[in-house]
């Protein structure tokens, strides 16, 4: 279930459905590693699916959006 940051389109608008429209214009190229316990990864994947995201990465980016936009 590991996913590459380069292969996943990630929404910047908060809606997983809008990710594809922007993926060709803005590609994320920097990678941040995060070590999780297997049960933490599983919980993150389950929560992402429950909320309608295509990946745990999208969920994490959605939750970090206030921090990321405040820095710009």
Tell how far CA 59 is from the center of its chain. Answer: 5
**What predicted TM-score, i.e. pTM, was given to this entire model?**
0.59
The H or E element containing residue 40 is: helix 38-50
Give pLDDT tens digits for 18-64.
Answer: 555 555 677 888 999 999 999 999 999 999 999 999 999 999 999 99
**Residue ranges covered by each domain of the chain:** 37-72
Tokens of 9: 């389109």
Half-sphere exposure of 68 (CA within 13 A, CB side): 9
What digits encode the pLDDT tens for the residues 7-24? Answer: 344 444 455 555 555 556
Which residue is listed with tokens 């999780």?
A: 36
């Amino acid at each position: 279930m590991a996913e590459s940051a380069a292969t996943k389109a990630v929404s910047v608008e908060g809606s997983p459905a809008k990710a594809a429209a922007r993926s060709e214009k803005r590609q994320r190229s920097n990678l941040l590693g995060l070590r999780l316990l297997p049960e933490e990864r599983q919980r993150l994947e389950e929560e992402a699916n429950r909320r309608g995201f295509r990946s745990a990465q999208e969920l994490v980016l959605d939750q970090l959006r206030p921090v990321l936009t405040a820095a710009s």
